[in-house]
């Protein structure tokens, strides 16, 4: 059950405000009795409610009287107070993240061998987006055939978002695709490519007939490879992320000649 406490009031503040709605203009002593707020606390509670602009006081009267503002106004003011509080918190967290990013990025990367795998569409997409976001220097993307388990509209938007962010970081992005994949791309993905990627100086895209499989070569030390389903080769089964500089170097040696022979991509 929701209550005024959900909007930041204490139990005593909520009791006092509700009591003032019932009693109308009243003194602190009368309010203490009506709300069950101890007399020793009632003035602090009233001062707090005045700071929230939830009550008004009649200072000229003796003893001083208090009245509640209308509920709609009070709730709007509490909501706005919460919004400001959350905005300040968000800014604080953003500053913390910025400081920690600089601190953690200062550490030298470790290039020991390591691999992990994601199975299923959602997990595979999450892993792919995560690794694209990790690129610092270079990103070579090879895509031969679309995976029928993915919504190309949704996945295409996610990939374009990450590629745009990578380009903003100065990453050199090379994308090699088969003509069949290009033909299968939704119009929205092609439009995103034209609007957000094609004009960038550090982005290049080409097509080649002999492109098969799907993999991403990240910073020449890490590879994300889509694994087809052995029972249905037309469908993806999983994605493996392998951090291995030696394997990545072999893959680069295979990629470069095909890239040189490929044709520039245009919609």
Q: How many domains does the chain have?
A: 2
Among 48, 75, 107, where does a domain finish? 107
Q: What is the pTM of this model?
A: 0.62
Supply 79's token pair. Answer: 């909501």
- The CATH number for 18's domain is 1.10.10.10
Q: Which of 107, 141, 157 is the last residue of a domain?
A: 107
For 221, how many CA atoms within 13 A lie in the half-sphere containing its CB?
A: 11
Per-residue pLDDT of the chain (267 residues; tens, 9 = 90+): 788 999 999 999 999 999 999 999 999 999 999 999 999 999 999 999 999 999 999 877 788 999 999 999 999 999 999 999 999 999 999 999 988 877 776 665 555 678 888 887 788 888 888 999 999 999 999 887 665 545 555 667 788 889 999 999 999 999 898 887 777 777 776 677 777 888 899 999 898 887 777 889 999 999 998 887 777 666 667 889 999 889 999 999 999 999 999 988 765
Strand order in the sheet with 65-68: 26-27, 65-68, 55-58
Cα→Cα distances 196→8, 32, 154, 248, Å:
43, 63, 16, 28
State which of 107, 133, 165 marks the end of a domain: 107
Nearest CA to 42 among 53, 51, 33? 33
Beta strands in 93-184 (DSSP E): 114-119, 138-143, 172-177
Reduce the secondary structure of 165-212 to three states and give it as a string: HHHHCCCEEEEEECHHHHHHCCHHHHHHHHHHHCCCCCEEEEECCCCC
Residues 216 and 161 in one domain: yes
Torsional class of 53: left (φ above 0), alpha (ψ -120 to 50), beta (otherwise):
left
Q: State whether 160 and 250 are in the same domain.
A: yes
Q: Are residues 194 and 256 in the same domain?
A: yes
| Residue reference for tokens 């994949």 | 181
What pLDDT is stored for residue 44 in this prediction? 95
Residue 260 lies in domain: 115-264
């Amino acid at each position: 059950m929701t209550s005024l406490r959900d909007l930041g009031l204490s139990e005593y503040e909520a009791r006092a405000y509700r009591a003032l709605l019932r009693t109308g203009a009243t003194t602190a002593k009368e309010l203490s009795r009506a709300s069950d707020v101890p007399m020793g606390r009632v003035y602090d509670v009233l001062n707090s409610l005045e700071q929230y602009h939830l009550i008004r006081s009649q200072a000229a009267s003796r003893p001083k009287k208090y009245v509640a503002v209308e509920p709609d106004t009070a709730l709007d003011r509490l909501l706005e107070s919460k919004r400001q509080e959350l905005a300040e918190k968000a800014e604080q967290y953003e500053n913390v993240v910025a400081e920690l990013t600089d601190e953690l990025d200062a550490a030298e990367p470790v290039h020991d061998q390591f691999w992990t795998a994601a199975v299923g569409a959602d997990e595979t997409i999450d892993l792919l987006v995560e690794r694209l976001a990790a690129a610092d220097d270079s990103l070579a993307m090879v895509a031969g055939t679309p995976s029928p388990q993915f919504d190309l509209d949704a996945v295409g938007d996610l990939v374009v978002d990450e590629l745009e962010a990578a380009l903003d970081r100065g990453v050199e992005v090379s994308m090699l695709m088969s003509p069949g994949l290009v033909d299968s791309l939704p119009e929205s993905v092609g439009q995103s490519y034209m609007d957000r990627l094609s004009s960038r100086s550090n982005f290049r895209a080409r097509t080649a007939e002999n492109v098969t499989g799907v993999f991403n070569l990240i910073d020449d030390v890490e590879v994300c490879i889509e694994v087809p389903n052995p029972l249905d080769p037309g469908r993806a089964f999983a994605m493996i992320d392998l951090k291995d500089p030696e394997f990545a170097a072999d893959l680069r040696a295979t990629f470069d000649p095909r890239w040189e022979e490929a044709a520039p991509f245009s919609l």
